[in-house]
Amino acid sequence: MAASMRAAHLTYENAPRPSVVLGCLLPAPWLGATAGLLLAFGPSDGLPLRFSPTVLAVVHLLALGMLVPVMVGALFQMMPVVAGVRVRGSDALARLVALLGGATALGLAGGFLAGRPLGFRVAMVLGAPFLGLVGLALLRAGARVVAVDATTRTLAGIGAALIATAATGAALAGVLGGQWQLAPGPLLRLHVAWGLVGWIATLVTGVATTVVPMFWQTGRLPAALERFLPWGIWLLLLAYSGAVIDAPQFSGAGAAPLLLLLGALAAYGLGGVLRARRRHDPCWRLWAAACVSAIGAVALSLAAIALPVSIAIPWWIGIAVLVGCGVLPVTAMIGKIVPFLIWMHLRRRLPLPARIPAMQAMISPGQQRWQANLLLLAYVLLLALPLAPRWLALPGGVLFAAANVWLGLQLLRAVRCLHRTMARGGLPPRHAGRRETGHSDPGREKRSRKAFP
| Contact present, 82 and 91 (Cβ < 8 Å) | no
Nearest to 449 by CA among 8, 5, 2: 8
| CA neighbours closer than 13 Å in the CB half-sphere of residue 231 | 6
Q: How far apart are CA 259 and CA 265, in angstroms?
A: 10
Q: How far apart are CA 436 and CA 442, in angstroms?
A: 16
Handedness of CA 43, 44, 46, 49 (dihedral sign): positive
| Contact present, 170 and 127 (Cβ < 8 Å) | yes
The CATH superfamily assigned to 2-448 is Cytochrome c oxidase-like, subunit I domain (1.20.210.10)
Would you state the pLDDT for residue 254?
76
pLDDT tens-place values along the chain, 453 residues long: 333 334 346 787 788 888 889 989 999 999 999 999 999 999 888 889 989 999 999 999 999 999 999 999 999 999 998 988 999 999 889 888 988 999 999 999 999 999 889 999 999 998 888 999 999 999 999 999 998 899 999 999 999 999 999 999 999 999 999 888 888 889 999 999 999 999 999 999 999 998 888 888 888 888 888 888 999 999 999 999 998 888 766 667 778 899 999 999 999 999 989 998 888 888 899 999 999 999 999 999 998 887 776 788 999 999 999 999 999 999 999 988 899 888 888 888 887 777 888 888 888 899 999 999 999 999 999 999 999 998 999 999 999 999 999 999 999 999 999 888 888 876 654 444 434 333 333 333 333 333 333
- The rounded Cα 188 to chain-centroid distance in angstroms is 21
Q: How far apart are CA 33 and CA 107, in angstroms?
A: 17
Q: At what angle do helices 150-176 and 90-114 cross, to 10 degrees?
A: 40
Q: How far apart are CA 28 and CA 33, in angstroms?
A: 9
- The full 3-state SS of the chain, as one line of letters, equals CHHHHHHCCCCHHHCCCHHHHHHHHCCHHHHHHHHHHHHHHCCCCCCCCCCCHHHHHHHHHHHHHHHHHHHHHHHHHHHHHHCCCCCCCHHHHHHHHHHHHHHHHHHHHHHHHHCCHHHHHHHHHHHHHHHHHHHHHHHHHHCCCCCCCHHHHHHHHHHHHHHHHHHHHHHHHHHHCCCCCCCHHHHHHHHHHHHHHHHHHHHHHHHHHHHHHHHHCCCCCCHHHHCCCCHHHHHHHHHHHHHHHHCCCCCCHHHHHHHHHHHHHHHHHHHHHHCCCCCCCCCHHHHHHHHHHHHHHHHHHHHHHHCCCCCHHHHHHHHHHHHHHHHHHHHHHHHHHHHHHHHHHHHHHCCCCCCCCCHHHHCCHHHHHHHHHHHHHHHHHHHHHHHCHHHHHHHHHHHHHHHHHHHHHHHHHHHHHHHHHHHHCCCCHHHCCHHHHCCCCHHHHHHHCCCCC
Q: For the chain, what are the domain ranges?
A: 2-448
**Per residue in 237-285, pLDDT tens?**
999 999 888 876 666 777 889 999 999 999 999 998 999 888 888 889 9
CB-count burial class (<10 Å; 0-12, 13-18, 19+) for 246: exposed
Nearest to 332 by CA among 300, 379, 383, 285: 285
**What is the pTM for the complete model shown?**
0.89
